[in-house]
């Protein structure tokens, strides 16, 4: 591969054009196909039944800051400094669902701490209480995001339909899939979801969680129905500079397992 082509994000169409010009594209083809295979593995969804029941969490609404459930999710604040503010924020916490968009394929299987490398999981969630537990909506949005991430980079870049924020989202999804350590938070806008005329009402965010330990995974793996519940202290639009993950707290599997 010529040095000028290294570190360049080329498409399959680019490769075909180079090949017609007599350029040896063997290495480029191998790299491109390996990247596409990795992206497929990162978002593999097993649609088999899972031993989970998120509706069991309905009993913890409204959120009781003094309950054992609260201690197991948002935790306690043992220090006096900031304790009152923290308690006030956590008192208004609610349960919100996150739908997995893409992740390392190993996370669909039981992993040990020794086998779990630091990795990024991409979710989509709604901050609007009306839709924050709407499983059907979240899955439809996740599926559209997968279609969007499959679009040609040049077409996305040159698109007059997509906003600058949406074009950046495409790059973030690509980096999260290929680098596996890329983290971001992005609010979805109308340009990628033209079928939803009231998208802003949903307050949908694509966000990432950087996993470095297996303790955050229920049964040390992601549930195969794609949905993970979190206790969230985020209620409305969050500042662009903030990561949504800092507002989301895992719910221990014992609270939403069928057994």
Do 103 and 14 lie in a common domain?
no
| Statement to judge: residues 17 and 75 lie in one domain | no
Question: CA triplet 106, 218, 128: central angle to 5 degrees?
Answer: 105
Share of the chain above pLDDT 90, in %: 34
Helix (H) or strand (E) holding 101: strand 94-102
pLDDT digit string (tens) for 95-119?
999 999 988 877 877 776 666 667 8
Q: How would you label 11-41 residue by residue, b for 16+ Cβ within 10 Å and e otherwise? A: eeebbeebeeeeeebeebeeebeeeeeebee
- Which domain, by its residues, includes 30? 3-40
Whether residues 165 and 243 fall in one domain: yes
| Residue 122: how many other CB atoms lie within 10 Å | 26
Total number of domains constituting the chain? 2
164-178 helix and 135-150 helix, angle to the nearest 10 degrees = 80
pTM of the model as a whole: 0.78
Same domain, 22 and 118: no
Confidence of residue 259 (pLDDT cuts 50, 70, 90): low
Q: Which phi and psi angles does 258 have, rounded to 5°? A: -70, -25
Instruction: Identify the residue with better confidence: 179 or 81.
Output: 179
Q: Is the domain of 189 the same as that of 76?
A: yes
One domain, residues 49 and 147? yes
Contact 15, 26 (CB under 8 A): no
Separation of alpha carbons 167 and 148, rounded Å? 10
Mean pLDDT, residues 80-90: 66
Q: Quick one: 115 and 29 in the same domain? A: no
Q: Are residues 21 and 100 in the same domain?
A: no
Q: What length does the chain have?
A: 259
End-to-end alpha carbon distance in the chain:
56
Looking at the structure, tell me whether residues 32 and 63 fall in a common domain: no
The values of phi and psi at residue 68, to 5°, are -65, -30
Q: Report the C-alpha gap between 92 and 62 in whole angstroms.
A: 9
- pLDDT, residue 3, reads 47
| Residues 68 and 10 reside in one and the same domain | no
Q: What is the secondary structure of 25-60 as a DSSP string?
A: -HHHHHHHHHHHHHHHHHT----S--SB-GGGGGGG
The answer to whether the CB of 217 falls within 8 A of the CB of 107 is yes
Same domain? 235 vs 221: yes
């Amino acid at each position: 591969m010529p040095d000028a082509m290294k570190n360049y994000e080329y498409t399959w169409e680019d490769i075909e054009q180079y090949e017609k010009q007599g350029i040896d594209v063997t290495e480029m083809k191998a790299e491109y196909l390996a990247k596409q295979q990795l992206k497929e593995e990162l978002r593999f969804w097993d649609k088999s039944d899972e031993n989970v029941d998120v509706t069991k969490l309905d009993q913890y609404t409204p959120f009781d800051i003094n309950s054992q459930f609260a201690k197991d999710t948002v935790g306690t604040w043992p220090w006096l400094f900031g304790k009152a503010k923290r308690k006030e924020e956590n008192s208004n916490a609610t349960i919100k669902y996150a739908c997995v968009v893409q992740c390392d394929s190993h996370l669909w299987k039981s992993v040990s701490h020794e086998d779990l490398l630091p990795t990024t999981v991409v979710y989509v969630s709604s901050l609007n209480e009306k839709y924050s537990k709407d499983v059907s909506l979240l899955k439809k949005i996740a599926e559209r995001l997968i279609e969007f991430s499959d679009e040609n980079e040049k077409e996305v870049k040159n698109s007059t339909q997509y906003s600058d924020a949406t074009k950046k989202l495409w790059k973030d999804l690509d980096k999260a899939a290929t680098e596996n350590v890329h983290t971001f938070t992005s609010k979805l806008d109308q340009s990628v979801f033209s079928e939803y005329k009231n998208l802003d009402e949903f307050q949908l965010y694509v966000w990432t969680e950087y996993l470095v330990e297996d303790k955050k995974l229920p049964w040390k793996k992601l549930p195969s129905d794609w949905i993970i519940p979190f206790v969230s202290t985020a209620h409305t639009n969050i500042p662009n500079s903030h990561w949504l993950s800092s507002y989301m707290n895992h719910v221990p599997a014992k609270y939403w397992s069928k057994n």
